[in-house]
Amino acid sequence: MDETTSGTPATPTTGRFAGRTVIVTGAGAGIGRATAERLLAEGARVVGVDLLADRLDDLVARARSDRLVAVAGDLADRPVIDRIVEAAAGRIDGLANVAGIMDGFVPTAELDDDVWDRVLAVNLTAVMRLTRAVLPTMIRAGSGSIVSVSSEAGLRGSAAGTAYTTSKHAVNGFTLSTAFFYAPAGVRCNAVAPGAVSTSIEAPFRSQYAGERLGPYLQTNVPPIATANQLAAAITWLLSDDSANVTGTVLPSDGGWSAI
């Protein structure tokens, strides 16, 4: 694969997704973009979704592929979910729920409702709605793979603020429950939990207390920052038949952070 905009070059498996349609949210930047680019390189038809249309325009311009369909919109808006499913045009082999936002590392006592509502709407409710929307197509086909991006913050309490931490723990529970219910239908559901990754995600500290409390842990525990392509490799593995026997797992891709 040629050098992408998302970090070190990925090593695609030729034709692994040929003839398949995969929806990728957050496809305009970071991990979602690397995932969309890798899927295209491996032969998939990709429905790429992002809030920011200019990011999708850039992806489309660089990809130069008639297998890429872009859908611009806010995943927290219900009609956007319908537009994504329509764009898939009746075939959905995979869904990568990658889009997500941070919470300013705000701790519980300093949380305001707007931050809580927005973080849960994007990181959790949108994941549920889009997963719910693709399931009938996958169940009819008797196969499908859903991968949601969780976080190291979904494995511990010391990696983000309270809203983000809550949303990612919930994504893990959503993943396990969905995997349990739909394994008999041939639909797999897994999550990937990244540690720190070099992307465009905004992560300023909006709480002095959080900086003082979290800072020492983040300074000592966090392994070297990963590339978006390293995460795309894990996500595409879980989307592919290479992981056919894997469902209901939360796979850390974190350089060993979760082992600390």
Ligand X SMILES: NC(=O)c1ccc[n+]([C@@H]2O[C@H](COP(=O)([O-])OP(=O)(O)OC[C@H]3O[C@@H](n4cnc5c(N)ncnc54)[C@H](O)[C@@H]3O)[C@@H](O)[C@H]2O)c1
H helix or E strand, kind and range, residue 253: strand 250-253
Closest CA to 105 of 32, 177, 201: 201
Looking at residues 88 to 127 of the shown chain, list those that interact with ligand X (rule: CB under 6 A). 98-101, 122
In the complex, least distance from residue 237 CB atom to ligand X, rounded to whole angstroms = 16
For residue 60, count CB atoms less than 10 angstroms from its CB and return exposed for 0-12, middle for 13-18, buried for 19 or more: middle
Rg of the chain on CA atoms, in Å: 17
Cβ 55 vs Cβ 34: under 8 Å: no
Binding of ligand X by 188 (CB under 6 A): no
Q: Does 30 bind ligand X (CB under 6 A)?
A: yes
Please, which residue, 135 or 163, has the CB nearer to ligand X?
A: 163
Shortest approach of ligand X to residue 227 CB, angstroms?
10
Q: Is 164 tagged catalytic?
A: yes
Q: Is 243 a catalytic residue?
A: no
The size of the interface with ligand X (CB under 6 A), counted in residues, is 29
Range 47-76, binding ligand X (CB under 6 A):
49-52, 55, 74-76
User: Dihedral sign, CA of 186, 75, 34, 1?
Assistant: positive
Site for ligand X in 33-52 (CB under 6 A): 49-52
Amino acid present at 69: V
Q: Which residues pair with 22 in a beta bridge?
A: 46, 94
Q: Which is nearer to ligand X, 76 or 95 (CB)?
A: 76
Q: Is 145 a catalytic residue?
A: no
Residue 246 is given by DSSP the state -
Active site residues: 150, 164, 168
Q: Which residues bind ligand X (CB under 6 A)?
A: 25-26, 28-32, 49-52, 55, 74-76, 98-101, 122, 149, 151-152, 194, 196-197, 199-201
